[in-house]
Structure 1
Amino acid sequence: MRICSLSPSATEIVYAIGLGDQLVGVSYACDYPEEAVNKPVISLRVQSNPHLPSDEIDAIVQQARANGNPLYWIDANLLREIKPDLIITQEVCEVCAIGAGSVFETAAQALDYKPKILTIRPRVLTDVIQNIRMIGAAAGEVARSNRLADSLETRIYRVKEGIPQYGYRPRVLCLDWLDPLRNTGQWVPEMVEMAGGKEGLAIPGGLSRELSWAEIVDYAPEFLMVMPCAFEPDQVVKETSEKLTILPGWDDLPAVDRDQVVLFDGRLPTRHGPRVVDVLEVLAKVIHPQTFRGISTDGVLVHSRN
């Protein structure tokens, strides 16, 4: 089967179930595993600089919305050339990847046949696991995808079982964007709850929203998880220093005072692939270090800082 994945999350799933050799097209953001960067890029973004600061990226997004312009486009000529049997797209975030509607429209115009188009719409962690099974079924690899999904479910269960049911739950804030400030949504607040924290400014399974700094100061998070969406480690460090530490009252936040500001590789938490369970385990280790000593933070955390 010839598979085209238009989101990095789906690409990670395709590789994780052993179908990387059948992947004939990816999006510009598909960077894991390393082999994915050598695949033909079908979906591209209008803004070509991947290292812009968060406020400039937000301005580009807002201007595109105001003008009704797309943020992404599909190379129709290349799509015809690779002739996919299965196209995997998403309806999670219009800012992160091309939407399903554009994929259906371009495929109908560019191809003289109808490929199978699978749209994934995860909201909570069980949806992420179910999507692994769905992709495996669509690609004809039910057994492999079920084994992967089962193993991830086991790891999730172990985290949940390790959290004291009636213990104190510290106030946690996960930041998905730094300028403007935004919290996380969908499965990330849910994972914080699973990991033994309390996400008082977000709704598990809900949408990300913009926050005021005054709101954050009033909330007084005991753990601050910095995970700007799609940002590489160096970008996360730079933005934290330039956007957060200069804010009034920064040093007075409980998370800062207790050295519980934790920087994540921004490419992991909001990707709905197998590595999201790595993020869950690391959240549990950060919040309950004595209980989850054996969990590695390699590849997930950047570092902690005051």
Structure 2
Amino acid sequence: MRIVSLLPGATEMVCALGLEDHLVGISHECDFPPEVVASLPRLTRSTLPEGLSDPAAIDAAVREKARRGEPLYMIDEEQLAALEPDLVLTQALCEVCAVPMGQAARASGQLRRPPRVIAVNTYRLEDLFESLRQIAEAAGVPERAESRIREWCHRLAWVETAVAGAPRPRVLMLEWLDPPFSCGHWVPEMVTIAGGIEVMGRAGEPSRRIRWEEVEEAEPEVIALIPCGYRLDEVIAARPLIERVPFWTRIPAVRRGHIYALDASAYFSRPGPRTIDGIELLAALFHPDRFHTPLVERAAQRLSHPTLSPSR
């Protein structure tokens, strides 16, 4: 079977199922596992201006594209045809995050031998399991999905046992910084399993634009910065965007020094195998006396306000 994945999380799921040798093409955003994706042709590109890095400018550009009805991504249809895929993986959850289902289906439908096109949509954590089953069944290896899901469930149960009975901190996961957006879809459930209470995001619902005044009113005790698609170094570089909020130092999480920059791209922006790692990371941050993972050292950085002394 020849598989084209236009979604980073789906690419990771294909590899988790041991089907990496069947991958023949990926999207421009697929970057993991690096040893698998390095040599694969990339069939998509962003239509946003190159070099755009300011969050407010990105948000404005995306909104303008939507207003004009223009796509955020382009598919190399000639290369897609040359690869002759049997299966194309995409999504219908968010037109901003990756190539949407309609665009992928239209491109695939024009091929001499149209492939099967599957939308891998994760609204809640249970959908992550179903997505893995969906890919495994399409590839003819359903038993591999069940084996992997059992492993994931065991790890989640271990986290829940470790944090059971501990005080749950009030948590705000910020999915964008300028303008600020709450988290949504599967991320609030990640917080719950890890032993926290998400104060603004709603499980199964899209992220939403919020006001900084709402953040102050919510009184979060922990704030995690997870701007969509940002690597850890990019999140750290965006730190000044939040520190210029006038009442920033009045927020409990800031006063206590519980502001964290996290590797959003790897563990929170894309639902896939590493979502489980992300839950373990959150548990280690919320309850360091009960749970630990080496990810704390390489996927998170605690950010102290320059005028405040962090306290526990």
TM-score range, shorter chain: over 0.9
Aligned twin of 2:20: 20
CA contact (8 A) 2:77 2:107 kept: yes
Aligned twin of 1:149: 149
Stretches of structure 2 that go unaligned for 5 or more consecutive residues are 306-312
Aligned twin of 2:215: 216
Aligned twin of 2:47: 46
The alpha-carbon deviation at position 83 of structure 1 amounts to 0.5
CA contact (8 A) 1:265 1:302 kept: no
CA contact (8 A) 2:84 2:113 kept: no
The alpha-carbon deviation at position 276 of structure 1 amounts to 0.4
SS in 2 for 1:92: coil
Could you list the per-position Cα deviations for residues 41-91 of structure 1 after superposition, in whole angstroms to 9, with x for gaps in the alignment?
112211253651111111110000111111012111001100001101111
Q: TM (normalized to structure 2)?
A: 0.93
Amino acid at match of 2:181: R
CA contact (8 A) 2:220 2:251 kept: yes
The alpha-carbon deviation at position 156 of structure 1 amounts to 1.1
Which range moves more in the overlay, 67-76 or 42-51?
42-51
CA contact (8 A) 2:285 2:296 kept: no
The alpha-carbon deviation at position 299 of structure 1 amounts to 4.3
Number of residue pairs matched by the alignment = 303
Distance 1:24 1:44 in 2: 17
Structure-2 change in CA distance of 1:294 and 1:56 (3 Å)? closer
Aligned twin of 1:183: 182
CA contact (8 A) 2:7 2:26 kept: yes
Question: 1:247 is matched with which residue: 241, 245, 248?
Answer: 245
Amino acid at match of 2:63: Q
SS in 2 for 1:41: coil
The alpha-carbon deviation at position 212 of structure 1 amounts to 0.4
CA contact (8 A) 1:30 1:37 kept: no
Structure-2 change in CA distance of 1:28 and 1:217 (3 Å)? same
Could you list the per-position Cα deviations for residues 200-251 of structure 1 after superposition, in whole angstroms to 9, with x for gaps in the alignment?
21211111000101111111210001011101222101111x2001111212
Identity of aligned residues (%): 35
Aligned twin of 1:194: 193
Aligned twin of 1:105: 106
Aligned twin of 1:85: 86
CA contact (8 A) 2:263 2:300 kept: yes
The alpha-carbon deviation at position 298 of structure 1 amounts to 4.4
Distance 1:277 1:67 in 2: 38
Distance 2:157 2:285 in 1: 18
Amino acid at match of 1:176: E
CA contact (8 A) 1:130 1:149 kept: no
Distance 2:123 2:203 in 1: 9
The residue correspondences of 1:1-306 to structure 2 (distance < 5 A) are: 1-34=1-34, 35-47=36-48, 49=50, 52-109=53-110, 111-165=111-165, 167-240=166-239, 242-267=240-265, 268-293=267-292, 296-306=295-305
Structure-2 change in CA distance of 1:145 and 1:211 (3 Å)? same
Amino acid at match of 2:69: G
Structure-2 change in CA distance of 1:139 and 1:69 (3 Å)? same
SS in 2 for 1:38: coil
Distance 2:123 2:222 in 1: 24
SS in 1 for 2:244: coil
The alpha-carbon deviation at position 25 of structure 1 amounts to 0.7
SS in 2 for 1:208: coil
Stretches of structure 1 that go unaligned for 5 or more consecutive residues are none
Aligned twin of 2:310: none
SS in 2 for 1:297: helix
Distance 1:73 1:168 in 2: 47
